[in-house]
């Protein structure tokens, strides 16, 4: 089974979080990606953030480990992080980037990531370990009905490998 990492990068006050607008899917998300074979999870989150944002980060703690059901096939490890060095910048993976207030996230922000931000702010003593029940076929179908152009662009970008969102 594949593993991925996601970084919740807070400003020190924890009232703003770094969001990226992806080029391939054209929605707002938290930075992250797949873990390379043999790579340590914390190193993977640091590498993914550096690649996607240009920031060097400090990992504060692991928030959760979310296991897939049906729709996705990767276990996601979510970390709370803080910027250490550098300035956020766009690149070939990221169309827009910035810190946003927790209560005013950008439109078209990935719903699952909103849940993970709430998990981080809850300050659980233990690492959360649960299934990804929010991401179902029904949820994807409803999203497709509301945002057909985004789904079509995702299809062109991911499955046909066309640089539609460049």
Tens of pLDDT, residue by residue over 46-57, are 999 999 999 999
Q: What is the pLDDT of residue 71?
A: 58
pLDDT of 158 > 80? The answer is no
Residue 166 belongs to some domain of the structure: no
> Which comes out higher in pLDDT, residue 73 or 52?
52
Question: What integer pLDDT is reported at residue 112 of this predicted model?
Answer: 85
Residue 17 lies in a domain: yes
For the chain, give the percent of residues with pLDDT over 90. Answer: 63
Task: Give a yes or no: residue 160 inside a domain.
Answer: no
Handedness of CA 132, 134, 135, 138 (dihedral sign): positive
CA contacts within 13 A on the Cβ side of 14: 10
pLDDT class for 4, splitting at 50, 70, 90?
A: very high
Residue 103 belongs to a domain: yes
Q: Is residue 161 part of a domain?
A: no
Q: Quote the CA–CA distance of 110 and 132 in Å, as a whole number.
A: 14
DSSP for 72-124 reads --EEEEEEEEEEEES-----SSEEEEEEEETTSPPTTB-HHHHHHHHHHHTT-
On whether residue 10 sits in a domain, the answer given is yes
The two three-digit tokens of residue 112, written as one number? 């699952």
Confidence at residue 30, expressed as pLDDT on a 0 to 100 scale: 97
Beta carbons of 162 and 156 less than 8 angstroms apart: yes
Mean pLDDT of 99-126: 93
Number of domains making up the chain? 1
Whichever domain contains 91, its CATH number is 3.90.79.10
Which residues span the domain enclosing 17?
Answer: 2-134
pLDDT at position 76 over 60: yes
Instruction: Tell me how far apart the alpha carbons of residues 166 and 142 are, in angstroms, rounded to a whole number.
Output: 26
Residue 30 belongs to some domain of the structure: yes
Q: Do the domain assignments include residue 120?
A: yes
d(CA 150, CA 112): 17
Whether pLDDT at 5 is above 80: yes
- Residue 163 sits at the vertex; the CA angle it makes with 157 and 165, to the nearest 5 degrees, is 80
Give the model's pLDDT for residue 116.
95
From the CB of residue 164, how many other CB atoms can be counted at a distance below 10 Å?
Answer: 15
């Amino acid at each position: 089974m594949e593993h991925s990492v996601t970084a919740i990068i807070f400003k020190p006050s924890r009232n703003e979080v770094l969001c990226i607008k992806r080029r391939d899917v054209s929605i707002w998300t938290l930075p992250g990606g797949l873990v390379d074979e043999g790579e340590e999870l914390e190193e993977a989150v640091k590498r993914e953030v550096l690649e996607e944002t240009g920031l060097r980060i400090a990992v504060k703690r692991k928030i959760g480990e979310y296991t897939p059901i049906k729709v996705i096939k990767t276990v996601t490890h979510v970390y709370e992080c803080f910027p250490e060095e550098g300035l956020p910048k766009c690149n070939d993976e990221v169309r827009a980037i910035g810190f946003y207030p927790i209560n005013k996230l950008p439109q078209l922000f990935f719903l699952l990531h909103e849940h993970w931000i709430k998990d981080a702010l809850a300050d659980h003593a233990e690492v959360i370990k649960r299934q990804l029940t929010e991401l179902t076929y029904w949820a994807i179908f409803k999203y497709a009905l509301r945002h057909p152009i985004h789904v079509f662009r995702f299809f062109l970008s991911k499955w046909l490998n066309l640089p539609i969102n460049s």
